[in-house]
Amino acid sequence: MKKIRIGIFGSGRGVDIAHNFKLLGCEIAAVCESDAKRANKAFEELGKDIPVFKDFDEFLEQDLDAVVLANFFHEHAPYAVKCFKKNIHVLSECISNSTLAEGVDLIRAYEKSDSVYMLAENYPQMIFNREMKRICDGGTLGKILYAYGEYNHPFSPDCKELSKTISPFPKHWRNYLPRTYYLTHSLAPLMWSTGATPVRVSATPVYGYVKETCSARQVMDKAAIITTLNDDASVFSFTGCAAFGGHGNSYRICGTDGQIENIRGTADDIMLRYNDWSVPEGMEEINHYTPKWNDKDEELIKSSGHGGGDFIVSRMFLDCIRDKKEPEMPYDIYSAITMSAVAILAHRSVLNGGIPYEIPDYKNEETRKELEKDTDTPFFYTDGREPTIPCCSNTDYKVSDEQMEEYLRLMEE
């Protein structure tokens, strides 16, 4: 069988993903990377015989079957469109699009192509989230009414080296990242487990100023609490990338007959509880346990990043390519664009006092026409586009001259 030829765009995160494709028998055929240090990482880890390109169009000419988009967080959509025009399959790091108009461009180009598109969202495939889906699919929780998801990733305000690593220049996307945008780690597991899709969103910021000694970060919100009404009348409450309390991610799903959650402070433990009048046969009212993988690739999964999710997502993508099928929700392109719309409109809710917004239906061409020119964004882009809306709920906040000077000195070291 011919090896699937994979191209990697962005050799920071992209190299990590590439290792999983190599384990799965693929050929890493080319890398696209403009940063010399990151390109060197590709040479060292993937092999010096793999060609590295600075120009994306030249990179796409390398007889590629699929491309992993692991470039800047907010700049995936235009490159996915270029892949679609060549019928190249796309595995896109979250999020799929950073403006509502980009979502239109993305879906139109996709529908004209023969490409498989899959969102590279790994958190649903962590062992406890896979167990939550199994229980939800089993029906013992009854009708799902409510679910909660929290992705919490604080770091020290004095951690200079981390600032240098994750936001290496003043206009880097992380310095302008609203707290609603990085939401797929909390939202996707809820959609995966329950099968529900958001149709309306509102959000409230959690603002907490902490002076960072060396920072170009223009956002002092510590979280956004996002609430959605879903297509099955259930409700989700979740964060984007939050920065309060202790580091970790947690999920809880509640039905009419019971609930399931991963236990904070443990590695993978589950608490599955029923009401005393609704305990299924063979179960206890309170069930505390560590789930099992029960997977033929368990050892490879355990060696993979993000709790095994990186390997499983790569395997899912290859299965879709080989079987010529679309990924299931929430990995398909419509789910991906919906999650991006939730992120974008939740931030608008933050900026406008928590008012709700309807999530647009990107399958509807009339809706697409309405969104064609909606290019509002909080980010700077490598093509020269600049922010058109604030990135922080406190629209007067800005990094002090002293902080910026210290940050720039660090970047020069």
**Arithmetic mean of pLDDT, 343-366:** 98
Residues belonging to the chain: 413
Domain count, the chain: 2
Closest CA to 336 of 26, 6, 91: 91
> Do 363 and 223 share a structural domain?
yes
CB 17 within 8 A of CB 120: yes
> Do 279 and 269 share a structural domain?
yes
Its pTM stands at 0.96
> Do 367 and 257 share a structural domain?
yes
What is the span of the domain harbouring residue 58?
Answer: 5-122+317-323
d(Cα 154, Cα 248) in Å, to the nearest integer? 9
* Mode of pairing for the β-strands spanning 286-289 and 270-274: antiparallel
Domain presence at residue 385: no
Strand-pair partners of 224: 205
CATH code: domain of residue 142 = 3.30.360.10
> Do 193 and 136 share a structural domain?
yes
> Do 167 and 180 share a structural domain?
yes
Give, for 131, the enclosing helix (H) or strand (E). helix 127-138
> Do 117 and 133 share a structural domain?
no
CB 321 within 8 A of CB 66: yes
> Do 169 and 43 share a structural domain?
no
Burial string for 147-164 (b: 16+ CB within 10 Å, else e) reads bbbbbbeeeeeeebeebe
Domain presence at residue 338: yes
> Do 118 and 221 share a structural domain?
no
Domain presence at residue 412: no
- Residue 11's contacts (CB-CB under 8 Å, 6 or more residues apart) are 31, 33, 35, 38, 39, 41, 42, 52, 70
> Do 220 and 180 share a structural domain?
yes
Domain presence at residue 378: no
Q: Higher pLDDT residue, 41 or 298? A: 298
Domain presence at residue 63: yes
> Do 181 and 113 share a structural domain?
no
Domain presence at residue 409: no
> Do 139 and 102 share a structural domain?
no
> Do 265 and 138 share a structural domain?
yes
Closest CA to 381 of 175, 180, 172: 172
Task: Summarize pLDDT for 57-109 with one digit per residue, the tens.
Answer: 999 999 999 999 999 999 999 999 999 999 999 999 989 999 999 999 999 99
Q: What confidence tier does 365 reach under pLDDT thresholds 50, 70, 90? A: very high
* Mode of pairing for the β-strands spanning 270-274 and 221-230: unpaired
Angle between helices 184-194 and 333-351 (to 10 degrees): 130
Task: Summarize pLDDT for 313-332 with one digit per residue, the tens.
Answer: 999 999 999 999 999 999 99
